[in-house]
Chain A
């Protein structure tokens, strides 16, 4: 069987000008087209075009997404067969098929893509693999991110692509690139869909959806089969990206998610990794040993305690305001930090210690001289100038609510006035507050609508109850699956030294 270019363009053209069509009609036509191409693929009808480098010029990925994707797929398939390589040279960055794939992923139509979820995902994965194979994960990172956001701007449903993205970003060290996805709250898993209201009228894939959950279910193929390890790794890696950007609070939230996930059976090593980082990041963000989130199962909490001793003793030394002990703990467990790839974080904790000591001074003193301060808070011998420049940078970065006062003609030491509350001029301070409040409020609203959505899902399902009951029974076998290697050390903060 063969097929002509004219037939292909004509078939794809039926989707053009869809704004004139009703949702039902459009849905029908896309489904027909997908079926048509699946058929062509299975009968090898497209093989005549396998080496036609210009065929795809006849299709516009934004209007002919289905056609474009299937033809590209068939060409990639043929290239694989020809070279008997999993990643033929044409697919590698700058290869002709790579260029086509990039063109598609940058321009595809987000509604049509919903009908070809599996093919879409496999292309994304291929692009990611090719970029890595060429040691240019950066190329993949941006591409994958933009494709994800194009498909589902809310990014609220977790998919295997999420994990692909954070891995690419970590490898490429392009951290900020992941933020548009990381900053959106993940609320669902594809498996949630279709179970509950399979009987109820399924909305059409192509219609405007209130929640992306409607088109991202298990059946969509937009995610590969997921296990707990996938999302655990995603949140751990995401936390590490936040750490690299020194967004400690968000990092803590991500780590907290990993630490507190429900367990049926024994703990995952990923969770233990996360808990170690949770302790260190907690010290950096809050200056204290943070207990595991309240949702953490008591069994897990107990296991963390026993598996992370050196971290806990380190945190206790930090809390007790004891430089000597802190230094001793840092040195004593050096091999632990480096085995866990946490050396960099620990070095940052050390610097944060001095910062928090100075901040704590603000609870005791309303004003004191640099000389007094150096004696009270800085353990190493420091000249007044050095102390002043350390403190000045803490004040100027708003880490420390205080103001400095030089004295007349250098007659005496510089004075530090520590304000009990923020010292910024009220007006701009309040405005800043308002902005932040508004952002949090917005985020709350999004979460609430997601909550309603998931309530809706749960309300219809008996399974939830079963599941919930089953989970009361978790009993840990205490066995830890070994060799789940997750780890990238956060860079040692050698440039941020206070000394």
Chain B
């Protein structure tokens, strides 16, 4: 409540703020109604502002790990905007790459596509979010991995990695992986993720007790 009206300036404030992804999502969700209304009057609204709203909102969906809903967002944004706005076109290619889990492509789009200046902070945020997420997944999905493939997953220089570039190898050893120079393989180590809840471990008994007590 009491949000200032949707404007380019307000969007800039939000995208450069330190708000958590879920806070950003909440706020932008509130603005979607305004954006939706803004598209009603032809010519009356600044298409630049709308593009910047929908692009930001899209990236925030990704930042909160809501890929199917991000896709729904692309389907409910104004057709003309989606098909003409370069920044939203980037969003679409990005979505496609994510859906098909093409990591190299995702990094390429995030880095090399002409994102507007105002969107850069969010794009950078998502890039590092995606990188971290992938690193965690690779760490527990591979027992041994060629440096070039690891570099591909994390958007690092594949060719340099292939040659065993120490600066790249060092990035991996820094997160606990081991470098087997002889085999030219990286040996990942699972990265424990912080659980959102860490209470005592009597849950099973408790749960079983509940089931037993109530019966069915």
Contact = CB atoms under 8 A, between A and B. Distances in A.
Q: Do chains A and B touch in the complex (CB under 8 A)?
A: yes
Interface of A: 93-94, 106, 134, 136, 138-139, 142-143, 172-177, 244-246, 389, 392-393, 395-397, 402-410, 417, 423-425, 427-428, 430-435, 437-438, 440-441, 444-445, 448, 491, 495-497
- A143, A246, A393: residue with the most chain B Cβ atoms closer than 10 Å: A393
A320 B42 CA distance: 56
A405 B143 contact: yes
B143 A417 contact: yes
Contacts of B210: 441, 444-445
Contacts of B66: 176
6 contacts: A93-B40, A392-B141, A396-B101, A396-B141, A406-B144, A440-B207
Interface residues of B, number: 48
Interface stretch (B15-23, B28-36, B110-118, B124-132): B28-36
B141 A448 contact: no
B92 to A, nearest CB: 10
Contacts of A245: 68-69
Given A424-B190, A438-B203, A405 B99 contact: no
B209 to A, nearest CB: 10
A435 B197 contact: yes
B27 to A, nearest CB: 13
A158 B203 CA distance: 32
A244 B68 contact: yes
Contacts of A389: 101
Given A173-B76, A409-B184, A424-B190, A431 B204 contact: no
B95 A435 contact: no
B174 interface: no
B175 interface: no
Interface string B190-207: 101101111101011011
A173 B141 contact: no
B40 A136 contact: yes
A138 B33 contact: yes
B142 A404 contact: yes
B95 A495 contact: yes
Nearest to A402: B141
A410 to B, nearest CB: 7
B43 to A, nearest CB: 16
Given A245-B69, A495-B99, A174 B199 contact: no
Interface in B140-188: 140-146, 149, 183-185
B198 to A, nearest CB: 6
Interface string B72-89: 100110000000000000
Nearest to B33: A139
Contacts of A175: 68-69, 72
Nearest to B149: A406
B144 A405 contact: yes
A417 B72 CA distance: 36
A457 B193 CA distance: 46
Given A93-B40, A136-B36, A404-B142, 20 more contacts: A94-B40, A136-B37, A138-B76, A142-B29, A175-B69, A389-B101, A397-B137, A403-B143, A405-B142, A406-B144, A406-B146, A407-B144, A417-B143, A423-B140, A424-B140, A425-B140, A434-B199, A435-B195, A435-B196, A435-B197
B197 A173 contact: no
Nearest to A408: B183
A424 B192 CA distance: 9
A94 B36 CA distance: 11
Nearest to B183: A408
Given A138-B36, A139-B33, A404-B142, A441 B68 contact: no
Given A406-B146, A410-B146, A497 B100 contact: yes
Q: Which of A143, A407, A431, A441 has the most CB of B within 10 A?
A: A431
B201 A430 contact: yes
A427 to B, nearest CB: 5
Contacts of B146: 406, 410
Contacts of A405: 142-144
Given A172-B76, A434-B201, A406 B145 contact: yes
Given A175-B68, A405-B144, A432-B195, A138 B190 contact: no
Nearest to A404: B142
Contacts of B183: 408-409
B96 interface: yes
A440 B203 CA distance: 11
Interface in B23-81: 29, 32-33, 36-37, 40, 66, 68-69, 71-72, 75-76
Contact of B206 (A403, A409, A417, A441): A441
Contacts of B190: 424-425, 428
A402 B142 CA distance: 9
Contacts of B29: 142, 177
Contacts of B32: 138, 142, 174
Given A405-B143, A428-B195, A396 B138 contact: yes
Contact of A139 (B37, B96, B144, B193): B37
Contact of B141 (A106, A172, A404): A404
A173 B72 contact: yes
Nearest to A98: B37
A327 B137 CA distance: 33
Contacts of B137: 396-397
A126 to B, nearest CB: 17
Contacts of A427: 192
Contacts of A404: 141-143, 145
A395 B141 contact: yes
Contacts of A425: 140, 190, 192
A246 B141 CA distance: 23
A396 B134 CA distance: 8
A177 B198 CA distance: 29
